Chains A and B, each alone.
Chain A
């Protein structure tokens, strides 16, 4: 088509300046006409506005004192699954300045400073926000005024036009640190959030969910901003409301967490850094999401002071880290039931085939010894005994027969190596290695030794506690599994109508023979009944299936022995335990990780037992007393 159009024209067409000049003149004339019409359109618009609608706009202009004010919505509360209050709003007062009504801002700030304490940080934050906010909208200067400060300001506030004391609601977490890693907290909107949010929706709002449920369900909790047109007198003082679109308050949220179980989980873990995640395998509900250490979210709401934040942020124990979602640990031996299942599925072993364990394993043609945790060896082991006694040599052999890529392919179905998709922000995916992965990440090829390490849950394999709980739940349900979730229901605060959140099923994990599930579950039962975790089986009123794990923090030399007494605490092994119960009708799946806890059977397993006891037998401690209201404490002490 192109050639057809171009070819009739001679290729060496001369430029003809006279003709082109005339062409230009014609085109310019057309444009003059277009310009005339364009400006005529504007002129007619002016006639419409200034002559035809003059009276209507005069009325609006005379009544002129119409201002639009945003009406920020009330944030929804957060409850646990039984209706125990986890986050609420308390009335408080803050000082606000509307830029366009202030004559001399510096002088005003100086005068205010003489009446109440203003920190440099307050002023700097105020100036930053004022620079980004339209002049006719007020910007908060100081939050949480005390009664005394209000009294001091109120006396001569009339002298400062544009300065107002405003009532607002402050977020409060009555249980303090309990459940903080699940609930999260709100804080003042910062600069990066400022760019992300819709300024209209957030006008009049100062806070936004930062972490946890407060962040992931920000939209539900927040509601919709309303607005009102207010008639004011010439100084801008409101006289009456003309037109009002009420805000839509945020939804109350009910979490799947049982705060009593959460308290148990946090308590048993006390003294260790680590995490405990408990799921209901039947629907993916998170029953407890504990991460130690914890911290009090309340100071974050109105800006934590710098020193406290630095302490929290630089502490070796990293209390701000949500280990349940973001801690990546080698799963250690807790991966073995899944490895066994993979072996059965690909037919490289069956439940009867055995391996003779001499206490170490060597690759053909290599002198490097891959050790078993039991130096004397387990002797002849079948799959059942290999799981119950956690025989490493059996799984070295199994992993080598499988190869890493088949392992990767099968275990990927359990959401290992990728986020489970839980409705909480910041979840990590861990690492489920494969040959391709190693080439991409390290630009190295995969070695047989890497496969052996992966077979016992070491090496490149990394999982989060949530992933471990999730895969354990999948075993408990024989491949039926759900995306973990923390939202149980949302409730309209006006109508008090609850909407239950639906379970989010994941594709079924299919195996060639359903009996494979029973084989590995039997192995996990024997972990408790006569296996590595036999101690926690004592006196249990229900049957448990579990698996202990011990993850190395550092690698021993070929001739060294692991000696807990002689190692510094931060070099001790991580203790892991995964379990579900009751075996016949699983109602809870638990994953425990105690960093540097030593052995999985001695440290982690008893913790899991207490969590399962609490849930299955209703054995709870009393909840801590809700924190006293903040204003009861004298302000001067801060």
Chain B
């Protein structure tokens, strides 16, 4: 790669400046963040072994996927951020076109139209949008004075609203939520005035009943109702929440111990190795394990936000910041849903849940973050 050659002298200089951690600077990774990610992933594999009925194949499969994720992170970390900036509008545009293509020719799986079949691979274009929306937001505000003016604000809202509506129509509420939030995070970080946020909050309060009646599908409404009172639907979605709460609650402070969770092992906990793996984890590792994991997540997010605030310009700051907050959204929504704080929205627990294309997206996000942080000096003039 040409840019590697060009930056070789600088690389050597960086190595000389401080002997400690030279290797990680060479491969452009941030050691604390990397350690945090590795610890969560390792813990995830351990839990998966137990939650997946000690099926080594499952663990291997997840291990491979994590390996792929870290490889993508490492690769993206090498690219200077100016490339991301250059590509941002194109990636966003292609993503939009693919979303439209899904509407026309997409495969219907379980009643929702999300997949695009390219012959060899089937993939969800909405996944691209999780990266493309933050990139496009950064690109859009890069040269505009911040805090944003009204007209620019409108542009930002459009950038986020178009993919949000397209994805929500599929219908895929979970992904739409992530994509919409990514845009909202970027706006917040761009310095959206508190007055406007307060006003929007009020508007939202008034808009919720309208959204409820006109936009939401029956099954989504049912989810919210079930969430408010799971016992009303013990056969459907309520079953998940009831069983999940039993698993968590019976874990107690110290947990039942690794491989000793009865709820998950006797198959009472549905989706115990995917969306509800947090419950399987809490059953075996208890409150202590749960708090440890939450602290790890907090550490990763705080570190990543620190890295974002050290970024040299508007584009990289906004991009790094909103990518981090997407990660937080995953962690928060999943743990909240599994513990019964939030409605059941199908978001996986990042680095923990088995499978999921979202793992790749999340690791790609961290790759971009690493790139921004490690290239910060080359950008400042």
Chain A interfacial positions (CB closer than 8 Å to B):
2, 5-6, 9, 13-17, 20-21, 23-25, 27-28, 31-32, 35-36, 38-39, 41-43, 45-47, 49-51, 53-54, 56-58, 60-62, 64-68, 70, 100, 132, 134-136, 195, 198-200, 203, 225, 227, 229, 234
Whether B248 lies near A50 (C-beta < 8 A) is yes
| Interchain nearest-CB distance for B186 vs A (Å) | 11
Contact between A46 and B287 (Cβ–Cβ < 8 Å)?
yes
In the complex, are the beta carbons of A24 and B189 less than 8 A apart? yes
Residues of B within 8 A of A46 (CB): 248, 282, 287, 290-291, 339
Q: Which of A16, A28, A64, A135 meets B266, CB within 8 Å?
A: A64
Complex Cα distance, B149 from A6, in Å, reads 7
B-side interface size class: 35 or more
Q: A200, B249: Cβ atoms under 8 Å?
A: no
On whether the beta carbons of A54 and B149 are closer than 8 Å, the reply is: no
**Within 8 Å CB of B331, what residues of A?**
39
Given contacts A57-B246, A61-B246, A200-B233, contact A38 B332 (CB under 8 A): yes
Residues of B within 8 A of A50 (CB): 248-249, 251-253, 282, 286-287, 290
Does B262 sit within 8 A of A, measured CB to CB? yes
The interface of chain B, by Cβ under 8 A from chain A, is: 110-111, 143-147, 149-151, 185, 188-189, 191, 218, 233-236, 239, 245-253, 262-263, 266-268, 270, 282, 286-287, 290-291, 294, 297-298, 301-302, 305-306, 308-309, 313-314, 317-318, 321, 325, 328, 331-332, 335-336, 339-341
Can you spell out 7 A-B residue pairs with CB atoms less than 8 angstroms apart?
A: A23-B147, A35-B302, A39-B335, A42-B335, A50-B287, A58-B249, A70-B235
On whether the beta carbons of B287 and A32 are closer than 8 Å, the reply is no
- Whole-angstrom distance between the alpha carbons of A442 and B41 in the complex? 65
CB <8 Å contact, A57 and B298: no
Known: A42-B335, A50-B249, A68-B239. A28 touches B305 (CB 8 A): yes
Q: Are B246 and A28 in contact (CB under 8 A)?
A: no
CA distance A15 to B147 in the complex (A): 10
Residues of A within 8 Å of B250, CB to CB, are: 54, 57-58, 60-62
Across the interface, which residues of A come within 8 angstroms of B294, CB to CB?
39, 42-43
Query: In the complex, what's the smallest C-beta–C-beta distance from A104 to chain B, in angstroms?
Result: 14
**B313 (CB) vs chain A CBs: closest residue:** A17
* Cα of A200 to Cα of B223 in the assembled complex, Å: 12
Query: Which chain A residues lie closer than 8 Å to B246 at the CB level?
Result: 57, 60-61, 64
* Given A15-B145, A58-B250, CB of A28 within 8 Å of CB of B290: no
Write out the residue numbers on chain B whose beta carbons fall within 8 Å of the beta carbon of A66: 268
Most chain A Cβ neighbours within 10 Å, of B250, B290, B297: B250
CB–CB A15/B143 < 8 A: yes
What separation, in Å, do the CA atoms of A134 and B291 have in the docked complex? Answer: 31
Main secondary structure of the interface of A (DSSP, over half): helix
Q: A38-B332, A49-B339 are in contact. Are A27 and B150 (CB under 8 A)?
A: no
Residues of A within 8 A of B143 (CB): 15
Complex contact A227–B235 (CB within 8 A): yes
- Nearest residue, chain B, Cβ from A6: B150
Whole-angstrom CA separation of A229 from B248 in the bound complex: 20
Contacting pair B341 A9 (CB below 8 A): no
- A9 touching B328 by the CB < 8 A rule? no
Q: Which of A28, A53, A227 contacts B189 (CB 8 A)?
A: A28
Extra inter-chain contacts (10) besides given A39-B332, A58-B252, A68-B239, CB under 8 Å: A15-B145, A21-B309, A28-B308, A38-B336, A42-B335, A46-B282, A46-B291, A50-B282, A50-B286, A54-B253
A196: shortest Cβ distance to chain B, in Å? Answer: 9
In the complex, chain A residues whose CB is within 8 Å of the CB of B302 = 32, 35
A61 engages B150 (CB within 8 Å): no
Known: A50-B286, A50-B290. A56 touches B249 (CB 8 A): yes
Residues of A within 8 A of B150 (CB): 2, 5-6
Residues A14 and B335 in contact in the complex (CB < 8 Å), given A31-B325, A57-B246: no
User: Are the C-beta atoms of B341 and A45 separated by less than 8 Å?
Assistant: yes
Chain B residue with the shortest CB-CB distance to A199: B236
Can you list the 5 inter-chain pairs with the closest CB atoms, starting with the nearest? A57-B249, A61-B250, A200-B236, A13-B145, A50-B287
On chain A, the residues within 8 Å of B336 by CB distance are 38, 41-42, 45
| Residue from the list B235, B290, B340, B341 in contact with A68, Cβ < 8 A | B235
Residue ID in chain B nearest A24 by CB atoms: B317
Residues A31 and B314 in contact in the complex (CB < 8 Å), given A45-B341, A51-B252: no
Residues of chain A with a CB closer than 8 A to B306's CB: 28
Option from A32, A43, A56 in Cβ contact (under 8 Å) with B290: A43
Contact A68 B189 (CB under 8 A): no
The answer to whether A36 and B248 touch (CB under 8 A), given A13-B145, A15-B143, A46-B291, is: no
Could you say which residues of chain B place their CB within 8 Å of the CB of A203? 235-236
Contact A45 B340 (CB under 8 A): yes
Report the minimum CB–CB distance from B246 to chain A (whole Å): 5
The docked-state distance in angstroms from the alpha carbon of A66 to that of B267 is 11
Question: Closest residue to A12 on the B side, CB-wise?
Answer: B145
Which residues from chain B contact A100 at a C-beta distance below 8 Å? 267
Knowing A27-B188, A36-B298, A38-B328, say if A57 contacts B248 (CB, 8 Å).
Answer: yes
Question: Please, which residues of chain A bring their CB within 8 A of the CB of B308?
Answer: 24, 28
Give the residue name and chain of the A residue nearest to B294 (CB): A39
A28–B341 Cα distance when bound, in Å, is 25
Q: Complex formed: what's the CA distance from A58 to B156 in Å?
A: 50
